[in-house]
Amino acid sequence: MLSYRHGFHAGNFADVLKHTVLVHTLEYMTQKDKPLRIIDTHAGAGVYKLNGPQAQKNREFDNGISRLWPGEQGMDGQQPGAIARFTELVRKVNEGGALQLYPGSPLLAQTLMRPIDRLFLHELHPADFQFLRDCMRNDKRVRVENEDGFAALQALLPPPDRRALVLIDPSYEVKSDYQHLIKQLVQAHKRFATGTYAIWYPVVLRQRIDEMELALKKSGIKNIQLMEFGLQQDNPEYGMTASGMIVINPPWTLWAAMEETLPWLVDTLGADDTSFYRLEQLVPEK
């Protein structure tokens, strides 16, 4: 959707979970010698100014990355390992020490990838596409396209070296986004069943998430894990109260990392005593 701009939401609690999972997964997958193809279907602008007009409108980062910054609750060596690594990467972007910039998934992926890896970024919004190109700085390892990532996904699979991480993070601005995601995901999995697929989702109306989970369970795809963090109990009147990641073929280390991370997020970022987390094996590996 061309109306969606992630700059209004950059660094919020949902980004903290999404990017913690992404960083952990990327660092695991880049340990092997073979090249990795990284595909981001809805890339956004790459990096966001937290003092800019978009981020300042609702200041969603106040209940996300700001709470993890030095001097705030949860810092001073008390963070879980996966959170600590994520915040370390955010600090590297903010060289002066003050929190001014928030790296999106493209910049995090570019930072962690190796010379042998390749990154494919897709962004439809014309302004964010230009920001994204500038952010990548003509990196020869990176291809930036002003196109629908879903439309491009199938052509990029399977990768030459049979190793890929696909991040799927659409706007979900219309109800059909949920069904379209499942359709594209099932098709991609048929083309490349051993790839790792990381799907972010917002919880606004729980029924849509339940339907998505059921569709995945019926899809025939194996080894699916779900990790979700909610600021408070579900309430459509409040907008997004929770978000989650669904990972197909996750790193074997991800479950233990989330067992440590998710309760900590509830204690650190939770809005009230209805804050919660979910960690579930939706579909077993075999």
Three-state secondary structure string covering 130-150: HHHHHHHCCCCCEEEECCCHH
Closest CA relative to residue 1, chosen from 176, 134, 138: 176
Per the annotation, the verdict on 169 as an active-site residue is yes
**End-to-end CA, the chain:** 37
Selecting among 169, 177, 234, 272, the annotated active-site residue is: 169
Helix-helix angle 126-136:105-112, to 10 degrees: 20
Chain mean position to CA 192: 20
Rg value, the chain, Cα: 18
Catalytic positions, please? Answer: 169
